[in-house]
Amino acid sequence: MYIPLGGNRVGKFKLLRNIIIVWLLTGLWHGANWTFILWGLLFAVLLIIEKFFLLKQLEKTPKILNHIYVLFIVMISFIIFNSNNIGQAKHQILGLFGVNGEPIINTYTLYYLKSYAVIFVIAIIGATPLIKNIINGLNRNIKIKKIINLLEPIFIVLIILIVTAYLVDNSYNPFLYFRF
């Protein structure tokens, strides 16, 4: 859809129009709910702000801050996308910052931190280049490189099985698009 509209090889006004049209339609494609429209428009506005105002600053910003920025935006967008209405989305977003009367740390927070501590640690380590750097260092030795090449597909299959086991073990969790 974006390319037939002219993509980004058009003037600024048409570029703005193209971004808004594509992301508005992307929101509508996900469902006829205001939260999906808001979700699409959020990404349109963010792309426009980044393209015209923040791009040079983001390129100078340390990578870790850029990662935090992206994760924050994605987290907020998931809340909007998954909410039943805009009021619920607003309540949940304000709750992230303790503004809606809920404390930031409560019994639910502690329960989930304890329940998923191992997964959080694995995710944090997996989000860094640590494992890649270790494997690259080990690959310098030809014998170890052969072992890594042999074990890598086995490791990937094990990860798929573990993830599948977690999904199956989880309570009723319908596919996202079955809600519509």
For the four alpha carbons of 160, 163, 169 and 174, in that order, the dihedral sign comes to negative
List 30, 51, 90, 91, catalytic entry = 30
Let me know if 30 is a catalytic residue. yes
CA distance 28 to 39: 9
- Asked if 24 contacts 45 with a C-beta cutoff of 8 angstroms, the reply is no
CA distance 45 to 51: 10
CA distance 95 to 90: 8
CB atoms within 10 A of CB 79: 19
Residues taking part in catalysis: 30
